[in-house]
Amino acid sequence: MHQPALTHLAAADPEVARLAEAEAQRQFEKIRLIASENYVSTAVLEATGTVFTNKYSEGYAGKRYYEGQQVVDQLERLAIERAKTLFGAEHANVQPYSGSPANLAVYLAFMNPGDTVLSMDLPMGGHLTHGSPVSATGKWFRPTHYGVRQETGRVDMNDVREIALRERPRLIIAGGTAIPRTIDFAAFAEIAKETGAILLADMAHIAGLVAGGAHPTPVGHADVISTTTHKTLRGPRGAMLLSTEEHAKAIDKAVFPGLQGGPHNHTTAGIAVALAEAAKPSFRDYAAAIVANAQALAAALLERGFDLVSGGTDNHLLLIDLTNKGITGKVAAKALDAAGIELNFNTVPFDTRRPFDPSGLRLGAAAITTRGLRTEHMPALAGWIERAVLAAGRGPLDDADVAKELDAVAGEVRDLLDAFPMPGFSR
């Protein structure tokens, strides 16, 4: 059952309570490999369900537009100090509702409509808010992009420098949503300095690895850092902006009143708890274990003939190009979901297929590491992935033989996970 128990919800709205219980059961029984997901602790769950959700708090601590902020101000200051201490940043803003508004605040702080932004192209691993033509950031600003080399699947910093010198962007963004290799923040900083650009490091995916010492930090290199607070950081669905003191005022004004009203105080509470958890020595072990699991899974998939973009991973994330398997990412993702393995279909660099039916899969090791899975479990996981992909290649998912094989894998997955507890669920 769901933990904390949903006693009052079950009495007031049995239908919603039933759905919450079903979701908890589903999360317990699935190997969750979506790279942007994780399990928060029961403490974070409790924090996000507190009476802080009742309070409206436009403004910042000590400078609010509503009364009754005596406690909320303490909470927000606590989250800010924990963020600054954990990452070694001079300034932190914990109010952004999610990663996209956080990134938009950076544009608002430093850019005018039509200014040039240089970022990783979305099909190469970037993010919608990094200047994609379907995003406001691609419509209001002038996007230019770098990518990866086709022969290596990696960013060549000489290419980035050449584009930056030619395009003279106002903003350079390092980071993205599907980058399996270490980001060279120092090299990006040198290019930004040479071209007079502001450097934004988007570490949404790797914030937990940075906090745990498993990935180099952008602090000391980037002018501004954006991050979500879930993913590898293992907090609630929210975001933060870190910056040098020089840019603190511009960032704060861009978040409020530039883009948002009152912060979600219950989320701030959850962020504060997650930051305290990330400051513990055990979190460094967790961050290292994420990378070890991802690399062990990569090795096991390579042994089974899967084509990994860049040949492997340095962090939590893997990209699989299924072209050599004769199956699309969308079909494979749906088959894997039926087999108890949850991930997402994804474009791969130089993909010839459309984004909603691409050639690849994206997967991450953060959630399974939180559950307690270790490197010795990765060969079995790779085997289940292979069985599901091969089954899907034999026919439609409702074919009796295909469905039987996927059900068999799902049963083996449940048997394994039964021994690994999940925060937020108990039997």
Query: pLDDT per residue over 403-417, tens digit each?
Result: 999 999 999 999 999
Query: How high is the pLDDT of residue 359?
Result: 97
Task: Just list the catalytic residues.
Answer: 56, 58, 202, 228, 231, 237
**Token pair of 342, please?**
């949850």
Q: How far apart are CA 165 and CA 144, in angstroms?
A: 12
Annotated binding-site residue? 245: yes
CB-CB contact of 130 with 176 (8 Å): yes
User: For residue 270, what is the enclosing H or E element?
Assistant: helix 265-278
Which residues have CB under 8 Å from 313's CB, separation 6+?
180, 181, 291, 294, 295, 298
Region 72-93: mean pLDDT is: 98
User: What HEC string does 150-199 produce?
Assistant: CCCCCCCHHHHHHHHHHHCCCEEEEECCCCCCCCCHHHHHHHHHHHCCEE
Structure-token pair, residue 286: 């967790």
Distances (CA, A) of 106 to 58, 113, 156, 201, 216: 20, 13, 25, 11, 22
- CA nearest neighbour of 281 among 370, 213, 231, 215: 213
Share of the chain above pLDDT 90, in %: 100
The pTM assigned to this predicted structure is 0.97
Distance CA 322, CA 36 (A): 21
Looking at residue 158, its amino acid is: N
Q: What is the pLDDT of residues 8-63, one digit of tens each?
A: 999 999 999 999 999 999 999 999 999 999 999 999 999 999 999 999 999 999 99
**pLDDT range class, residue 94, cuts 50, 70, 90:** very high
* Residue 126 is labelled as binding a ligand: yes
Closest CA to 230 of 331, 91, 367, 123: 367
Q: Report the amino acid identity of residue 154.
A: R
Residue identified by tokens 């537009």 is 65
Mean pLDDT score of the chain, rounded to an integer?
Answer: 97
Residue 390 has pLDDT above 90, yes or no: yes
Question: Per DSSP, what are the bridge partners of residue 363?
Answer: 318
Output the CA torsion 260→261→264→269 (10° steps): 90
Query: Any binding-site annotation on 91?
Result: no
Per-residue confidence (pLDDT) for residue 169, from 0 to 100: 98
Cβ(217)–Cβ(242) under 8 Å? no
Average pLDDT over residues 159-172: 98
Which amino acid is it at 395?
Answer: G
Instruction: State yes or no: 128 annotated in a binding site.
Output: yes
Q: Are 327 and 389 spatial neighbours (Cβ–Cβ below 8 Å)? A: yes
Beta strands 239-243; 224-228: pairing state:
antiparallel
Q: Give per-residue pLDDT as tens, 206-259.
A: 999 999 999 999 999 999 999 999 999 999 999 999 999 999 999 999 999 999
Q: What is the DSSP letter of 377?
A: G
Q: Nearest-CA neighbor of 117 among 101, 137, 103?
A: 137
In the numeric block, the tokens 């970037």 are attached to: 126
Please report, for residues 102, 155, 370, 391, the alpha-carbon distance to residue 22 in angstroms, rounded to integers and kept in the order given: 32, 42, 20, 27
| pLDDT tens digits, 347-374 | 999 999 999 999 999 999 999 999 999 9
Query: Which amino acid makes up residue 266?
Result: H
33 carries a ligand binding annotation: no
Mean pLDDT of 52-79: 98
| The predicted structure's pLDDT at residue 316 | 98
Residue 427 has pLDDT above 90, yes or no: no
User: d(Cα 424, Cα 3) in Å, to the nearest integer?
Assistant: 4
Give me the domains of the chain, ranges plus CATH numbers: 51-278 (3.40.640.10), 282-417 (3.90.1150.10)
The closest of 214, 181, 184 to 366, measured between CA atoms, is 214
Give yes or no for residue 110 having a pLDDT over 90: yes
pLDDT at 216: 98
